[in-house]
Chain A
């Protein structure tokens, strides 16, 4: 899907990401991450073009981070968006999640 792209260790998401897209987003992460041979590296998240994000997607991002770190890799937020920032602030996860 054009809203989800993976290139150069960067997961780029776009558009409105809500529960309706949750499974799709999860499968996108799984497929691309599993296909990556070198897991002990840094992966990036690009949310610059995300218009809306909800708790289900946040949860998947946290799961991705956990998965990456479990394989001795790192997940860093390359570009954020206001919707994601607001959600992190509301959940008070800005620091604890390690996603900012």
Chain B
């Protein structure tokens, strides 16, 4: 069995990406809860993983810089360094640099040019500046350490007071054995860094006995199977927990026994002759050399056992390389997760889409068969089969879509850092509140909205939330609140970004719109508050007096809206001057398969996504009135503009169309679609009754005039390629059961295009 180095690299970098995310989250959490020892420990573990893994992959520079950060965190964990904002800032800077280096390594670029001495100096400076100087005789007041062994003879009072840390000068004699390590190499672990770490912390007498008797003959050996076993003995002033950390990952895949004696006095005073193990020990001797109960080297193994269980649990939570998943694993839980390439899921989804297309064909065939052979057994059997396929394909689609779902929290988490950095830069105090992070969204959608939400957050902090002084003057708390909330709303996911800041000054927006020549003063008087707020999404529109590198160039919100619309979503704004602004984003759960209504315009069939359709109505032609040159209808008292799709698309009959019509008329075939001759297109205005599809476009309702309504169908939207991709009124195309291609309309773009057509025709008139 051989390793695919590229595959392993990919897994490694993916894991490191996750590790960096966890590190960032931990630091940001620590800023809020600086004395939470659990967060410090988690952070330390992640950093330790980063250091160890990058070392294994030969990324020495990364490993070295991480070592300095790890050292700082080790001191913090020991309670020797005060967790302070400045310490966190330097740590964040350090991990930003490490991320850059890791990105270079991933792209196989040289990163030896990174000058890290500045960061190492900064880490050292904060380490010195925030070191807690305490009287060694005074009782320890820092964060209690839970893994310090309690001598067996000493009763443990309940509730247990924080156990005092062992003084480093006291030292311990450690005796460690690693056995059953056959899976060690397969998990990417090499014993040598473990031994080196032990040697680094050893103060005296570091002895290793490597057992290699189990190594078989060459033709019998498995090259990735670890046959080594180790006995390690050393003296160290390190705490047992520190030693435990060294073996954290090895514990998950091998048997590690750690025994230690508790010596409060310096080692040299109590142990004059630590018996070193002979360099070569016969097998029998080795058995006796293993830790024995009467040696009293293990004062209380309970905390260690707990730590081991925790370490194993943590190791299990980590994504595992595929090779390990394929092999015998120590715990069944390891098989619960599989890391998979996104493309594979996309391919699966595409196949499901194709299957649904074929299923649709069968549904139509069943209907056709029902009409032609209503009482036949074949029809009944076919219909039953189709019903079964429909159920199965629906369940399959649901399952695949579920597999593509990711919690929106994975996108939200990274904003914590953004809020921190932007608010610091602008000297504002902002508390980010995240709610509904478990809400799930299609991976493609969640990736697509990541940047738009980032823009919104920057805008909220820059334009919305006031400086602490202004907030004080306004009677608000100094710290502004930015709420990021996700929830389900029907078949959509709703994401809300809400601040308690300035709100949008509609008068200011109106004035700017007039200044930019977007509207006249007279028109401005007629606009509602909703209409005015719409201008903030106009390209190049900004009311910011000063342009900062955070926002204010007017290239934010139009980009936000466009990106959200590309994901078939919509954005709404509500604002109360002086109280804050709320951006509401509605996104489909998935982009891949959607319900759509098929409509006919002339000879063509188009699909309109079902989620934007409110209703379909039939109105008398005479009821379509021109209001300010805009065809409109009065629907139960509400005036709704009507868009003539034919005019926007510029459908006109061609000689070829006539020819096709003639051929079709000759064959007198019955078609799925209600066909009309090209000549009859011209007569459309004379048809007494018109069919209109009412759609909701953001906050506006509009009607799309169509020639015929067909049926509702599940479609898989495929992106348009070539020159077609530049036609915004079509989001994509889908293939029907009969093989024909149907274009999918984007109602919002259709509305915009219709307005442009309208303006052009007015100008021409």
Q: Which residues of A contact B (CB under 8 A)?
A: 16, 18-20, 22-26, 29-30, 33, 52, 54-56, 59-60, 62-64, 66-67, 70, 87, 90-93, 95-97
With an 8 A cutoff between CB atoms, is B280 at the interface?
A: yes
B21 to chain A, nearest CB (A): 27
Cα-based distance from A22 to B8 in the complex (angstroms) = 15
Cα-based distance from A20 to B226 in the complex (angstroms) = 14
With an 8 A cutoff between CB atoms, is B488 at the interface?
A: no
| A25 contact set on B, CB distance < 8 A | 223
Query: Which are the 7 A-B pairs with shortest beta-carbon distances?
Result: A22-B223, A91-B210, A67-B218, A23-B2, A92-B208, A26-B223, A23-B223
Contact indicator B2/A55 (Cβ below 8 Å): no
Contact indicator B1/A23 (Cβ below 8 Å): yes
Contact indicator B218/A64 (Cβ below 8 Å): yes
How many chain B residues touch A (CB < 8 A): the figure is 31
* Chain B window 1-43, contacts with chain A (Cβ cutoff 8 Å), 1 for yes, 0 for no: 1110100100000000000000000000000000000000000
| A96 contact set on B, CB distance < 8 A | 210, 279-280
With an 8 A cutoff between CB atoms, is B606 at the interface?
A: no
With an 8 A cutoff between CB atoms, is B161 at the interface?
A: no
Question: Which chain A residue shows the least CB distance to B57?
Answer: A18
A76 to chain B, nearest CB (A): 17
| A63 contact set on B, CB distance < 8 A | 215-218, 221
Cα-based distance from A36 to B191 in the complex (angstroms) = 33
Could you say which of A23, A25, A90 has the most chain B C-beta atoms within 10 Å of its C-beta?
A90
Contact indicator A93/B217 (Cβ below 8 Å): no
With an 8 A cutoff between CB atoms, is B207 at the interface?
A: yes
With an 8 A cutoff between CB atoms, is B196 at the interface?
A: yes
In-complex Cβ contact of B210 among A19, A70, A93 (8 A): A93
Could you say which of A67, A91, A92 has the most chain B C-beta atoms within 10 Å of its C-beta?
A92
Cα-based distance from A52 to B57 in the complex (angstroms) = 12
Contact indicator B227/A59 (Cβ below 8 Å): yes
A9 to chain B, nearest CB (A): 16
With an 8 A cutoff between CB atoms, is B195 at the interface?
A: yes
Contact indicator A95/B279 (Cβ below 8 Å): yes
* Chain B window 313-343, contacts with chain A (Cβ cutoff 8 Å), 1 for yes, 0 for no: 0000000000000000000000000000000
Question: Which chain B residue shows the least CB distance to A19?
Answer: B185
Question: Which chain A residue shows the least CB distance to B196?
Answer: A90
Question: Which chain B residue shows the least CB distance to A52?
Answer: B58
B323 to chain A, nearest CB (A): 11
Sample 6 A-B pairs with CB under 8 A, ordered by A number.
A20-B3, A26-B218, A66-B218, A67-B217, A91-B228, A95-B279
In-complex Cβ contact of A33 among B8, B191, B218, B224 (8 A): B218
Question: Which chain A residue shows the least CB distance to B207?
Answer: A92
| A66 contact set on B, CB distance < 8 A | 215-218
Contact indicator B185/A26 (Cβ below 8 Å): no
* Chain B window 37-77, contacts with chain A (Cβ cutoff 8 Å), 1 for yes, 0 for no: 00000000000000000000010000000000000000000
Cα-based distance from A87 to B215 in the complex (angstroms) = 17
Cα-based distance from A33 to B221 in the complex (angstroms) = 15
Cα-based distance from A55 to B192 in the complex (angstroms) = 7
Question: Which chain A residue shows the least CB distance to B221?
Answer: A63
Question: Which chain B residue shows the least CB distance to A54?
Answer: B190
Question: Which chain B residue shows the least CB distance to A27?
Answer: B223
With an 8 A cutoff between CB atoms, is B209 at the interface?
A: yes
In-complex Cβ contact of B221 among A20, A54, A60, A95 (8 A): A60
With an 8 A cutoff between CB atoms, is B219 at the interface?
A: yes
Instruction: Scan residues 269-316 of chain B and give those whose CB is less than 8 A from a CB of chain A.
Output: 279-280
Apart from A26-B221, A59-B226, 5 more pairs, CB < 8 Å: A19-B185, A59-B221, A66-B216, A90-B192, A91-B192
With an 8 A cutoff between CB atoms, is B516 at the interface?
A: no
Asked, given contacts A63-B221, A66-B217, whether A19 binds B192 with beta carbons under 8 Å apart, the answer is no
| B223 contact set on A, CB distance < 8 A | 22-23, 25-26, 56, 59-60
Asked, given contacts A60-B221, A67-B218, whether A55 binds B280 with beta carbons under 8 Å apart, the answer is no
Contact indicator B190/A55 (Cβ below 8 Å): yes
Cα-based distance from A67 to B624 in the complex (angstroms) = 95
Contact indicator B280/A95 (Cβ below 8 Å): yes
B54 to chain A, nearest CB (A): 14
| A67 contact set on B, CB distance < 8 A | 217-219
Contact indicator A24/B215 (Cβ below 8 Å): no
| A56 contact set on B, CB distance < 8 A | 185, 190, 223-224, 226
Contact indicator B212/A93 (Cβ below 8 Å): yes
| B216 contact set on A, CB distance < 8 A | 63, 66
| B58 contact set on A, CB distance < 8 A | 16, 18, 52
Question: Which chain A residue shows the least CB distance to B2?
Answer: A23
| A95 contact set on B, CB distance < 8 A | 279-280
Could you say which of B192, B216, B227 has the most chain A C-beta atoms within 10 Å of its C-beta?
B192
Cα-based distance from A91 to B194 in the complex (angstroms) = 11
Cα-based distance from A11 to B523 in the complex (angstroms) = 89
With an 8 A cutoff between CB atoms, is B199 at the interface?
A: yes
B148 to chain A, nearest CB (A): 29
Cα-based distance from A60 to B221 in the complex (angstroms) = 8
In-complex Cβ contact of A20 among B5, B195, B217, B227 (8 A): B5
Could you say which of A25, A60, A62 has the most chain B C-beta atoms within 10 Å of its C-beta?
A62
Cα-based distance from A87 to B228 in the complex (angstroms) = 13
Cα-based distance from A92 to B3 in the complex (angstroms) = 28
| B8 contact set on A, CB distance < 8 A | 20
| B191 contact set on A, CB distance < 8 A | 55, 91
Could you say which of B191, B219, B226 has the most chain A C-beta atoms within 10 Å of its C-beta?
B219
Contact indicator B224/A23 (Cβ below 8 Å): yes
